[in-house]
Amino acid sequence: MFIYWYSKKCTRQTKFIVTILTCVLILLLQAVIELAPLWVIISTLVGIVMYIYMHFHTKLKLPYWCIWLIPILFFVLFYTLTQNTSIFLFGQIILFCFLGFSLASIYANKQPRNSSE
């Protein structure tokens, strides 16, 4: 997924459509059971940290497989701290992580507007 996300084939419009679909899926899952706001913030921040890791892993020569260590530890923490674990809650966590990742990558790669003077 990361290879396609950073390739030239994945345009800004594609990233925007995928981000909107992610938001729609989150709303559908929240209709079943709602994730606590604290976990929403934490999972979005995990996605942003994943983007920062992906951005700097070539410059700092960090191993590629470590990107998956952050969300796995987060899932284990969520599983141990909540009593009512559900597939819908895990789905929301994954989607919020992806939402944080996609918003950070879209914002970081945005092109400045042309000022018509």
Is 71 among the domain residues? yes
Is 73 among the domain residues? yes
Is 104 among the domain residues? yes
Q: What is the pLDDT of residues 42-72, one digit of tens each?
A: 889 988 988 888 888 777 777 777 777 777 8
Residues of the domain holding 46:
2-108
Is 114 among the domain residues? no
Is 117 among the domain residues? no
Q: What is the pLDDT of residues 80-108, one digit of tens each?
A: 767 666 788 888 988 999 999 888 888 87
Is 113 among the domain residues? no
Is 116 among the domain residues? no
Is 49 among the domain residues? yes
DSSP the chain: -HHHHTSTTS-HHHHHHHHHHHHHHHHHHHHHSPPPHHHHHHHHHHHHHHHHHHHHTTTTT--GGGGGHHHHHHHHHHHHH-SS--HHHHHHHHHHHHHHHHHHHHHHTPPPPPP--
* Total domain count, the chain: 1
